[in-house]
Amino acid sequence: MKKPAHDMRQHIIDVARSLMTQKGYTAVGLTELLTAAGVPKGSFYHYFRSKDEFGQALLEEYFEEYLTRVDVQLASDGSGAERLLGYLRYWAETQAFDHTDQKCLVVKLGAEVCDLSENMRGVLEKGTALIIERMIRCVEQGKLDGSIDASVDSAILAEALYQMWLGASLLVKVNRTREPFDAALEMSRRLLA
């Protein structure tokens, strides 16, 4: 029985996420993607008008799923500072070498696609802003519960933490060691103390 169009579209995105998490956006051609998905080449344009539209859909889906995971992490028990540190520990655990299915597409594709597609850059900008907004709310909660210094600027702290962890994620890939995550976690503890 043939899959409905929405299911096939989703299947293509799911297969692409796995491939592109490993290889990147430009390294995965349509032929490779569609062969892996078991979809005839001409069918791609039935589901997506272009590779750019496909890239947008891939990133939108990634952020939708990832933001759900962020919400779960930041809604756990504990003070605002403890919840933020829990999320950052989760980041380190899932972005290490052995969790390829959960790798961050922002780290993997961000620099690559921002120069290729304004639309994909826009999805990345919006998605990262939504992550930072959630972190800001958690900082605000930490200020209210006394676990984070009330004089700190919530937006600056949340953005600095996010930027530091993006950099640590890149260095983990470059150096093939978890040490950048260890350093980022130590600095995060100090910033949230």
Kindly report the pTM of this predicted structure: 0.90
Q: What is the pLDDT of residue 106?
A: 85
Tell me the one-letter amino acid at 66.
Answer: Y
Specify the 3-state DSSP secondary structure of 62: helix
Q: What is the pLDDT of residue 1?
A: 45
What is the spatial distance between Cα 155 and Cα 103, in angstroms, rounded to a whole number? Answer: 25
Specify the 3-state DSSP secondary structure of 2: coil
Identical fold between 1-48 and 51-192: no
Helix (H) or strand (E) holding 4: none
Ranges of residues in the chain whose predicted pLDDT is under 70: 1-6, 97-102
User: What pLDDT, in 10s, does the model give residues 70-113?
Assistant: 999 999 999 999 999 999 999 999 887 655 556 778 888 888 89
What is the spatial distance between Cα 109 and Cα 60, in angstroms, rounded to a whole number? Answer: 13
Q: What CATH class is the domain 51-192?
A: mainly alpha
Spell out the domain ranges in the chain.
1-48, 51-192
Pick the CATH number of 1-48 from 1.10.10.60, 3.30.1330.80, 3.40.50.280, 3.40.50.300: 1.10.10.60
192 near 147, Cβ under 8 Å?
A: yes
Q: What is the pLDDT of residue 110?
A: 87
Which of these, 124, 192, 113, lies nearest to 158 by C-alpha position?
192
134 near 70, Cβ under 8 Å?
A: yes
